[in-house]
Chains A and B, each alone.
Chain A
Amino acid sequence: MENSFLLFISTAITALAVENAVFARGLGMDNEVVFIKDPREGLLMGGVFGWVVFWSAWPISLTNYLLRGRSYVMIIRPPMYLIGVLAVCLLTHYLSRKYLKNEKLADEIRGTLPVATFNSVLFAVFFLSASQNFVLTQTLGYAVGSALGYTVAIFVIYYARKRLAISAVPRSFRGLPILLIYLGLLSLALYGLIGHNLPT
C-alpha cells in the first residue's frame, strides 16, 4: 500500500515538473490554450481536463493490462483509447446536464469539454504510460500530475502573455513569437532540472 502511494506520488511529481507535457514536449499548444481570456477560464479548462484524464485512466490502464504483449497492440491501442476517452466525455456531458444544479457552470463545462478532451496532452499521457509499462497506480499518478502540470502551464502562459503585452518588444516579435521564446527559456530551465553537466 505504502509502496503504491510512493509510486503514485513520484510519477505525479515527474509528470508535473520534469516531464511537464507543455514545457518539456511542447504538447497542448493549441489555439484555445494559448489564448485563454481570464484565469477562471484557465481553471475551468484545467479542472475539466483533470476530471477527464483521471477517469479515462481507469479503463485505459485496464486496456493496457489486457493488451500487454499482444502483437496487434499498436493497431488496436489508439481506437481503444479513443473509446475510453469518448465514454468519459459523454458521461461527463450527461452528468453535468442531469445532476449539476448550477446551470451556468454546467453550460461552461459542456462548452470546455471538447477542447479539454480532444487534446494532444490527454492522449500523450496514455501513450507515454503505455510506452513506459506503467501499472494502474503509476498511470493514475501520471494522469493527476499531468493535469496539474497542464493547469500550471495554462496559467504561466496566461500571465506571461499579460506581462509581455505591456513590455517593449520589437514589433515582429509581439504576440506568439516572444511567448514561444519565453517558453523556450522556461523549457531550458526544466531541462536543466534533469541534470546536465558541462565538461570541465
Chain B
Amino acid sequence: MKLSKVRRYRKKSKLIAALFAHSPAVMIGLCLPFLIAASVSLRAAATLSLELLAVHMGSTGVALLASYYCPRRYRLPVIVTASTLLMVVMRLLLMVLYPAIVDSLGIYIYLMAVNGLTLTQTRALEDKAKPLPVLRKAISNVLGFSAIMFLLSLFREYWGSGTLWGVPVPAPVQLPGVLVPFFGFILVGFLLAATNLINKKLLGLAIRESALREARFTVVDEDVQL
C-alpha cells in the first residue's frame, strides 16, 4: 500500500477511532446500562444523548472548578449534587421537546445523574487540571456515546418496532424481543467485538505506516550520502 493511501485511510479512520474504538463507553464499558436497556428508539437515543451532553459537560465543569478549590474527599458529593441538579433541569427541558419519550424512558432519565462515564472521569481528575484538554475529552466521550447509542437504536427500532424515528418503515419481519434488555447485552457484546477488530486493524495500519515512513527516510538518507 502506498504511503499516501495509508495516510488517507488513517485520516478517515481517525473519526471512527474517536467515536467507536477509543470511546470509554466501549473500551471499559462505562454507560453500559443506557446502551443495554434504553437504546430502543432513535428518539430515546437523541433524548439520552442531549441529557448526557448537559450532565457530563456541566459536571465536568464543576469538577474542574472543584479540582482547584475543593479538597479531594468532598469532590464526589459536590459532583453528584451538580449532576443531579443538571439532570432535573434537563428533564424539564426534554419534557417540552419529547414528553412521550421521557415518560417511556422511566428511571433511565433519572439515572443519568449517576452515570458511570461522568462519575469515573470526574473522579479521575487530578488537582488543578487544565480545562481545555479535559473539556475536549469530555465532548469526544459524549459524541462517542451518542454514536454508539444511535447505531444500536437504529438497529433495535427497525427490527423491534418496524419504525425509524417513529415513522413506520416496511421491515421483512418484526422481532419484539430485540427491544428487551437481554438482546441489548448480546448486541453490545457483538459491537464491542467489532470495535476490538477495528482497533486491531487501526493498530496494524499505524505500524505499517511507521514502517513505510522509516523505509522512505532510509532511502532519502542513503541518497544524501551518495
Question: Inside 8 A of A120's CB, which chain B residues have their CB?
Answer: 33, 111, 114-116
Q: Say if the beta carbon of A15 comes within 8 Å of chain B.
A: no
| Shortest Cβ distance from A184 into B: residue | B185
Would A26 and B36 be within 8 Å (CB), given that A118-B114, A184-B186, A187-B181 are in contact?
Answer: yes
Q: Is the CB of A181 within 8 A of B119?
A: no
Question: Count the A residues whose beta carbon is within 8 Å of the partner chain — how many?
Answer: 44
Question: Inside 8 A of B35's CB, which chain A residues have their CB?
Answer: 26
Q: Is the CB of A172 within 8 A of B193?
A: yes
Query: Roughly how many angstroms separate A29 CA and B185 CA in the complex, as a whole number?
Result: 11
B152 to nearest A CB, angstroms? 12
| Shortest Cβ distance from B29 into A: residue | A176
Question: Count the B residues whose beta carbon is within 8 Å of the partner chain — how many?
Answer: 45
A150 to nearest B CB, angstroms? 13
Q: Say if the beta carbon of A17 comes within 8 Å of chain B.
A: no
A114's partner among B33, B76, B92 (CB-CB below 8 A) is B76
Instruction: List residues 1-41 of chain A with CB under 8 A from any CB of chain B.
Output: 24-31, 34
Question: Inside 8 A of B116's CB, which chain A residues have their CB?
Answer: 29-31, 120
Q: Say if the beta carbon of A127 comes within 8 Å of chain B.
A: yes
Query: Roughly how many angstroms separate A171 CA and B48 CA in the complex, as a whole number?
Result: 32
B33's partner among A29, A128, A131 (CB-CB below 8 A) is A29
Q: Is the CB of A123 within 8 A of B85?
A: no
Q: Which of B127-135, B163-171, B194-202 contacts A (4 or more CB under 8 A)?
A: B194-202
Q: Is the CB of A25 within 8 A of B84?
A: no
Q: Say if the beta carbon of B190 comes within 8 Å of chain A.
A: yes
Which residues of chain B have a CB within 8 Å of any CB of chain A? 28-30, 32-33, 35-37, 76-77, 80-81, 84-85, 87-88, 91-92, 106-107, 110-111, 113-116, 119-120, 123, 180-186, 188-190, 192-194, 196-197, 200
